[in-house]
């Protein structure tokens, strides 16, 4: 930990090269077959282009053309388009948790005050991150969390995004607690549409094929999407994606699955890697998603033990897609099921469920290893 402590002290003293930037300034990185754009506000992904089956570049993530619209969105509907969410992604029941005998309370900004969502009222997604380094293929942001939102202690996080031939996007999030024991669980919150709205079928993800071969279990939730403590099995249910399946095939059976009176997916799938792998191994693809409209396929490799899958069950056609995704004569809007969010993370609300054995992956101290979220996104073309 001496190296990390020296780095942090140097960073705080200003001896590490940093760039004081406009939080809405765009940073574009590129490699053969891929181009991605980020802004410091939320260390946020705003555009990601990869080639489709016809060799045309398609923007496969949702967002806005005008970076200022991300701020406007956060002040109104707050959809979390493309940022890092934290200090603790997903939900914390009653906004309360206890670590090493100390109880903390965080803002209950979800479900009319029943839980904390994505770090509270002003999470990492609404913070202006510092650009530490930027070049043609990689950009690194940093954020010093000074006990934001009632979380214990100070934490510094470095987020490095890199693109490379493949094409591939790699995200590395490294968080280091500076003083007190604390839960840390970050996630990239990207809204994907591999169909890129190129045709009617590509305007939703219902025709996308999804497979999570090691997701035989999931975290059961109540009608406000807070874990009950029970662990369910996916086999034989609408939640079974262990074999390739179109997202829309069973979605109408997912009644009240994403909250009361909501039909769709918003679930934490547990990743049980095979015996020849290990709990944090990144050697196997944990998720494969593809669209016939564009022929684009995505494979995700991660060291995390859960995937939160949300199929944009609450989008309602009020937000237009970006200019890069407008392919029709009239303006295209994001309809219900028009996208999918894939969060690589640990088990939702694991900080309140010691019986799950998640403490080693969610609670960090000044003398523990840093919290690391590794996610690798590999793109290809079907049949290529």
**Integer CA distances (angstroms), 60 to 1, 198, 347, in order:** 39, 10, 27
Strands (E), 101-193: 102-105, 115-117, 130-134, 138-146, 154-164, 168-177, 182-183, 187-188, 191-192
Neighbours of 72 (CB within 10 A): 11
Would you say 26 and 161 are in contact if contact means Cβ atoms under 8 Å apart? no
118 catalytically annotated: no
Active-site residue (options: 118, 189, 225, 353): 189
Quote the tokens at residue 266.
């918003």
Residues 6+ apart with CB under 8 A from 232: 217, 218, 219, 220, 239
220 catalytically annotated: no
Residues 6+ apart with CB under 8 A from 306: 219, 268, 269, 270, 271, 344, 345, 346, 347, 348
**Rounded to whole angstroms, how far apart are CA atoms 235 and 119?**
32
**Integer CA distances (angstroms), 160 to 33, 64, 87, 141, 147, in order:** 20, 22, 17, 6, 22
Active-site residue (options: 118, 225, 343, 353): 343
Q: What is the set of active-site residues?
A: 189, 343
């Amino acid at each position: 930990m001496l190296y990390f402590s020296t780095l942090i002290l140097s960073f705080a003293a200003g001896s590490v090269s940093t760039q004081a930037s406009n939080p809405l300034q765009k940073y574009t990185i590129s490699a053969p077959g891929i181009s991605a754009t980020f802004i410091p506000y939320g260390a946020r992904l705003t555009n990601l282009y990869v080639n489709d089956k016809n060799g045309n570049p398609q923007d496969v993530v949702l967002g806005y053309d005008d970076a200022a619209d991300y701020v406007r969105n956060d002040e109104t509907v707050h959809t979390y388009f493309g940022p890092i969410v934290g200090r603790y992604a997903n939900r914390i029941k009653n906004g309360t948790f206890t670590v090493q005998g100390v109880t903390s309370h965080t803002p209950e900004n979800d479900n009319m005050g029943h839980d904390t969502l994505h770090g509270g009222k002003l999470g990492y997604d609404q913070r202006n991150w510092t650009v530490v380094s930027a070049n043609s293929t990689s950009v690194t942001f940093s954020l010093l969390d000074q006990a934001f939102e009632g979380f214990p202690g100070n934490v510094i996080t470095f987020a490095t995004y890199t693109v490379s031939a493949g094409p591939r996007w790699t995200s590395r999030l490294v968080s280091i607690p500076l003083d007190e024991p604390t839960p840390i669980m970050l996630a990239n919150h990207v809204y994907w549409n591999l169909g890129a709205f190129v045709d009617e079928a590509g305007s939703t993800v219902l025709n996308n094929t999804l497979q999570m071969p090691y997701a035989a279990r999931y975290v059961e939730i109540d009608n406000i999407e807070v874990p009950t403590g029970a662990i369910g099995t996916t086999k034989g249910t609408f939640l079974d994606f262990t074999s390739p399946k179109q997202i829309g095939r069973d979605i109408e059976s997912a009644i009240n699955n994403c909250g009361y009176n909501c039909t769709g997916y918003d679930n934490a799938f547990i990743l049980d890697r095979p015996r020849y792998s290990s709990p944090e191994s990144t050697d196997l693809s944990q998720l494969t998603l593809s669209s016939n409209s564009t022929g684009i396929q995505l494979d995700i490799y991660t060291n995390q033990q859960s995937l939160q899958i949300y199929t944009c069950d609450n989008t309602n056609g009020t937000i237009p897609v970006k200019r890069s995704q407008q392919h029709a004569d009239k303006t295209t809007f994001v309809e219900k099921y028009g996208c999918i969010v894939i969060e690589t993370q640990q088990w939702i609300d694991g900080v309140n469920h010691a019986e799950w054995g998640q403490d080693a992956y969610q609670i960090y101290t000044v003398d523990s290893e840093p919290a690391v979220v590794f996610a690798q996104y590999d793109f290809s073309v079907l049949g290529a």
